[in-house]
A = this chain, B = another copy of it.
Amino acid sequence: MNSKIKKAIVLLSGGLDSTVVLSICRNLNISVYAISFDYGQRHKIELEFAKWQAKKFKCVSHKIFKIASFGGSALTDDIDVPVNKNIEDIPKEIPITYVPGRNLIFLSFAAGYAESQNIEEIYIGVNSIDYSGYPDCRQGFIDKFESLINISTKKGLEGKKFKIKAPLINLNKEEIILIGKKNNVDFSKTCSCYNPSKKKMCGICDSCLLRKKGFENAGLEE
């Protein structure tokens, strides 16, 4: 029996995916140090949900890093969020909701924070099935990033190996929702929408469409 309590950082946006990741970690009895980012996103309401979920799942701590916006996206700038009638209509190319360097920046902060807190595992809720096609949500990126921090940090060089875990990477939205359901996630306290107003999701952005289809396939009400 391993009596050592496991610790991990969880990148918690307040969206559906990262909340399910949090529930997975807590199910494994991992002590979670949640982190979120205030980066000028138009869906800042997600941070309120992140706080709620961190509390519900009894995180050891929840740190919100306030960082300067770096621009160039419909999620941060004054650019319309694209809408499509059906999932099939979502264009195949990377959409304007892509935020340049976002997961790179988030994971870099997570790595610095992990090192300073003496934690080796970092969980992130990226998935590459039902997603918006962002290049920084794929396994190849995660693997390369993990290898990078193990050569560019003091602890990495000293032999302490950092691990980036992306437990949802090969799951579709339906599967993710079913895991969350099993783990008692309150989905009404998560925000997937790219363009919410007054705590209400728009229902027509790509992310809302993917979420809706996921619940339909899972045979659940949102």
- Indicate if A130 sits at the interface (CB-CB under 8 A): no
Report which of B101, B105, B115 forms a contact with A100, defined as CB distance below 8 A: B115
Q: Is A217 interfacial (CB-CB < 8 Å)?
A: no
CB of A124 to closest CB in B, whole Å: 13
**Smallest Cβ distance from A27 to chain B, in angstroms?**
28
In the complex, the answer to whether B135 meets A72 with C-beta atoms within 8 Å is no
User: In residues 139-191 of chain A, which contact B (Cβ within 8 Å)?
Assistant: 140-141, 144-145, 147-149, 151-154, 156-157
Cβ contacts A64-102/B at 8 Å (1 or 0 each): 011110111100000000000000000000100011111
CA distance A113 to B141 in the complex (A): 19
A101 to B112, CA, bound (A): 4
Complex CA–CA separation, A115 to B96 (angstroms): 13
Is A129 in contact with chain B by the CB < 8 A criterion? Answer: no
5 contacts between A and B (CB under 8 A): A71-B113, A72-B115, A100-B113, A105-B112, A148-B148
- A interface residues, how many (CB within 8 angstroms): 40
Copies in the complex: 2
Give the nearest-CB partner of A72 in chain B.
B116
A109 contacts the other chain (CB 8 A): yes
Q: Is the CB of B104 within 8 A of A152?
A: yes
Question: When the two chains form their complex, are residues A135 and B113 in contact, meaning their CB atoms are under 8 A apart?
Answer: no
Q: Is A31 an interface residue, CB under 8 A from the partner?
A: no
Contacts beyond the supplied A66-B68, A100-B153: 19 A-B pairs with Cβ under 8 Å: A65-B68, A65-B70, A66-B67, A67-B68, A70-B113, A71-B116, A72-B117, A98-B154, A99-B112, A100-B113, A101-B111, A101-B152, A101-B153, A104-B111, A105-B105, A108-B108, A135-B152, A136-B152, A140-B151
